[in-house]
Amino acid sequence: MKIGVLALQGNYEMHSQVLEKIGIEPITVRYPHELDTVEGLVIPGGESTTMSKLMNRMGFYKPLKSFANDYPVLGTCAGLILMSEKVVDADLEPLGLLDVQVERNGYGRQINSNTINIEFELNNVGYNIRGSFIRAPKIVSYGNSVNVLAMYDEFPIIVKDNKHVGISFHPELDNISILHEYIFLSDRTNN
């Protein structure tokens, strides 16, 4: 199995390492035609406005939306912002893959970065992981199609909508692979 990691900007290398750790071949995706070579995609954390501008310049929006009709997409931090339906505090074009509305830096600026313990359940198995929040987006509202997998401070921090998963924090910074395994290795028909 080959999973793409959008490599326009941001922390794509650490996601590639997590994918390798779980036996998935990571493919860096820098051009839209490279989506044809993968069966899923990670949109990493980074700077969402910069990533949006680069995606626009490279012509990623239409091919990526088409790709997402058939394959799972995992977005962390800025990736979640780009996958959202609406960003309340920024002038950027989201992909609309997750029926969520997000607020950039909703958990504070860089100085407010922190790590918390997160407890959640996937496929009837409980997990307790570290979550590194760095200028993390806050999911301020979500639609009926969204399954909330974990909460923090009364807001969702891990969500699933159809085959796609959005995460407010950075699991790759703590070498946590369970969410990558969940979206790319578990039964994709189990939405």
Active-site residues, by number, are: 77, 170, 172
Q: Look up tokens 């394959």; give the residue.
A: 71
Distance separating alpha carbons of residues 5 and 44, to the nearest angstrom: 7
Closest CA to 8 of 104, 91, 82: 82
Closest CA to 10 of 56, 63, 75: 75
The alpha carbon dihedral of 94, 51, 117, 179 has a sign of positive
Report the relative pairing of strands 25-29 and 164-167 from DSSP bridges. Answer: unpaired
Angle between helix 48-58 and 61-70 (nearest 10): 100
The alpha carbon dihedral of 71, 45, 174, 133 has a sign of negative
